[in-house]
């Protein structure tokens, strides 16, 4: 082997040497971490339940729902189920603490606020907000719930901060279903764009940022882009490949000598891209990925789009990115079928960013800056992968409005703790990743809660038997027939 490669391999292997200090006192630090969140709640009992539920989310349970977590932390199942699913405590104080901690640790003037809807497939029809709709998780229309999430991306890390459950209009108007799922009376139907603006207005002053980004489900709405411009926000929003644009930098058609001077024609983004010459693209290396450098090609043009009633909208910069079809690494989310298009070699995605806001014209952003902001959507997708893969963000078994919000808030807090421990551990073990931190912590928690022996086995089996027999009893009672006892 070449000496240079051999030396680098040795350095890479040395980065994997795990110091015991990474995991020493981690359970104790979890107890200290949860204290501000406990104080944010109204009662001491709920604060204790927050700690227990977080321990369950951070454990190595196969399914992280209320029942399995109750078994793991040795608490009655009904206690945890009531805490998560039915007791109407307010989750927003927990989010306030989370936002403050993230702003202190990760906040920077050119940070990025990223909005991204995320779907949660469901089999039944009784969970709050569930319906057949576009499911980005499965890439098709399916039965699911959809939440609208607000993330934050800085040069140091990325994290999801706030969320709203998207309540479909048919749910908002169905009073029996609202009552069955405990939807508060003040909750009304809001579009996902309105929910994003609500979260932005609530937290924009507390979280330093220079950009707002989102996928084509948000960017296709001209009113949403207009609301951001009125707030003086710079955005990089995805738009569908079918969007009609007018290239303001294209040569004008020849003037025939009478009538109004001609203007560039309207074209779909796909047609416009296909007419670009090869030299128009700029090659950039965005970052160093796990499989090598992440590289894209970009082009930027000043354009106009149509708004309501086919009126001409304000000037905006169009940003088009493309990457080879052979590159299978996570780059952008796919909010709809027409979020991207492709030819024989490349997959392309389209964004719009404003040329001016409420306080005047913006300086023209560099291609490097536009590439950084446009990839923030991939960072939030990675945050969802952390939440769903490590702390059971999508493994809840609740049907109520409060249950969904409680589980989401505690899941984001659990990921935030893992993120902090990962950064701490990387000072000692540079190659350390968040899944390994969660794995080590799960083993430590197993030592805390698991007491091996026959008595423990009998206790756990008895809990399962009581659950099964209670369900059998109530099923018989519903049918008004006395359940027979099992034969000895």
Stated length of the chain: 488
Cβ count near 440 (within 10 Å) = 17
**Secondary structure (3-state) at 64:** coil
CB contact burial 310-344 (16+ within 10 A = b; e otherwise): eeebeebbbbbbbbeeeeeeebbbbbeebbbbeee
Over its length of 488 residues, how does the chain's per-residue pLDDT go in tens digits?
Answer: 778 878 877 887 888 888 888 888 999 999 999 999 998 887 766 778 899 999 999 998 888 988 899 988 888 888 999 999 888 889 999 999 999 999 999 999 999 999 999 999 988 888 999 999 888 777 788 889 999 999 999 988 999 999 999 999 999 999 999 999 999 999 999 999 999 999 999 998 999 999 999 988 899 999 999 999 999 999 999 999 889 999 888 887 777 767 777 788 888 999 999 988 888 999 988 877 666 777 889 999 999 998 877 788 889 999 999 988 876 554 444 556 777 888 888 888 999 999 988 777 888 899 999 999 988 888 888 899 999 999 999 988 889 999 999 999 999 999 999 999 999 988 988 888 899 899 889 888 888 877 666 776 677 677 767 777 777 777 877 878 888 776 64
Tokens standing for 220?
A: 């296709």
- Distance (Å, whole) CA 414 – CA 388: 11
With tokens 């190595």, the residue in question is 60
With tokens 């080879």, the residue in question is 324
Task: Using alpha carbons only, give the angle 66, 70, 71 rounded to the nearest 5 degrees.
Answer: 125
- Distance (Å, whole) CA 303 – CA 188: 37
- What per-residue confidence (pLDDT) applies to 330? 46
Cβ neighbors of 4 (< 8 A, separation 6 or more) are none
- Model pLDDT for residues 445-469, shown as the tens digit of each residue: 888 877 666 776 677 677 767 777 7
Q: At what angle do helices 26-33 and 44-57 cross, to 10 degrees?
A: 140
- Distance (Å, whole) CA 68 – CA 71: 5
Q: In terms of pTM, does the model score above 0.85? A: yes
Q: Give the residue among 111, 23, 12 at the shortest CA–CA distance from 424.
A: 23
Q: Is 453 left (phi over 0), alpha (psi -120 to 50) or beta?
A: left
H or E element, residue 439: helix 434-449
Q: Give the residue among 376, 322, 316, 310 at the shortest CA–CA distance from 347.
A: 322
- What per-residue confidence (pLDDT) applies to 328? 55
318 touches 301 (CB < 8 A):
yes
403 touches 86 (CB < 8 A):
yes
Backbone angles phi, psi at 292, to 5 degrees: 120, 180
With tokens 């935030």, the residue in question is 416
- Model pLDDT for residues 146-202, shown as the tens digit of each residue: 999 999 999 889 999 999 999 999 999 999 999 999 999 999 999 999 999 999 999
* CA dihedral of 127, 128, 129, 131, whole degrees rounded to 10: 20
**Secondary structure (3-state) at 5:** helix
With tokens 């603006």, the residue in question is 197
């Amino acid at each position: 082997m070449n000496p240079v490669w051999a030396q680098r391999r040795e350095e890479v292997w040395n980065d994997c040497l795990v110091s015991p200090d990474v995991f020493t006192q981690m359970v104790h630090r979890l107890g200290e971490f949860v204290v501000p969140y406990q104080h944010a709640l109204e009662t001491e009992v709920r604060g204790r339940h927050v700690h227990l539920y977080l321990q369950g989310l951070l454990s190595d349970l196969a399914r992280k729902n209320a029942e399995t977590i109750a078994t793991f932390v040795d608490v009655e199942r009904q206690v945890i189920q009531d805490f998560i699913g039915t007791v109407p405590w307010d989750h927003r104080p927990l989010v306030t603490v989370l936002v403050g901690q993230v702003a202190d640790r990760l906040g920077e003037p050119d940070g990025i606020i990223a909005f991204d809807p995320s779907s949660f497939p469901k089999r039944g029809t009784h969970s709050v907000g569930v319906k057949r709709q576009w499911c980005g998780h499965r890439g098709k229309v399916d039965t699911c719930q959809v939440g609208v999430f607000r993330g934050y991306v800085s040069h140091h890390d990325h994290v999801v901060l706030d969320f709203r459950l998207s309540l479909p209009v048919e749910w908002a108007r169905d009073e029996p279903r609202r009552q069955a799922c405990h939807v508060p009376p003040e909750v009304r139907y809001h579009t996902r764009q309105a929910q994003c603006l609500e979260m932005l207005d609530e937290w924009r002053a507390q979280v330093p940022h220079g950009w707002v980004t989102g996928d084509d489900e948000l960017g296709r709405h001209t009113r949403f882009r207009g609301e951001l411009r009125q707030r003086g926000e710079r955005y990089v929003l995805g738009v569908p490949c079918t969007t009609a644009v007018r290239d303001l930098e294209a040569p004008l058609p020849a003037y025939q000598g009478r009538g109004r001077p001609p203007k560039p024609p309207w074209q779909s983004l796909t047609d416009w891209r296909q007419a670009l010459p090869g030299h128009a693209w700029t090659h950039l290396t965005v970052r160093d990925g796990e499989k090598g450098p992440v590289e894209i090609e970009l082009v930027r043009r000043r354009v106009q789009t149509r708004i309501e009633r086919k009126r001409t909208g304000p000037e905006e910069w169009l940003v088009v990115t493309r990457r080879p079809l052979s590159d299978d690494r996570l780059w952008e989310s796919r909010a709809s079928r027409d979020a991207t298009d492709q030819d024989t070699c490349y997959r392309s995605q389209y964004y719009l960013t404003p040329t001016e806001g409420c306080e005047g014209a913006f300086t023209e952003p560099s291609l490097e800056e536009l590439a950084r902001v446009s990839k923030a959507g991939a960072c939030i997708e990675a945050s969802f992968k952390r939440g769903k893969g490590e702390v059971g963000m999508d493994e809840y078994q609740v049907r109520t409005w409060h249950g969904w919000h409680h589980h989401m808030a505690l899941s984001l807090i659990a990921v935030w703790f893992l993120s902090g421990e990962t950064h701490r551990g990387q000072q000692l073990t540079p190659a350390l990743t968040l899944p390994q931190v969660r794995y080590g912590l799960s083993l430590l928690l197993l030592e805390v809660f698991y007491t091996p022996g026959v008595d423990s086995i009998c206790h756990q089996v008895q809990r399962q038997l009581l659950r099964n027999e209670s369900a059998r009893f109530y099923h018989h009672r519903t049918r008004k027939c006395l359940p027979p006892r099992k034969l000895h």
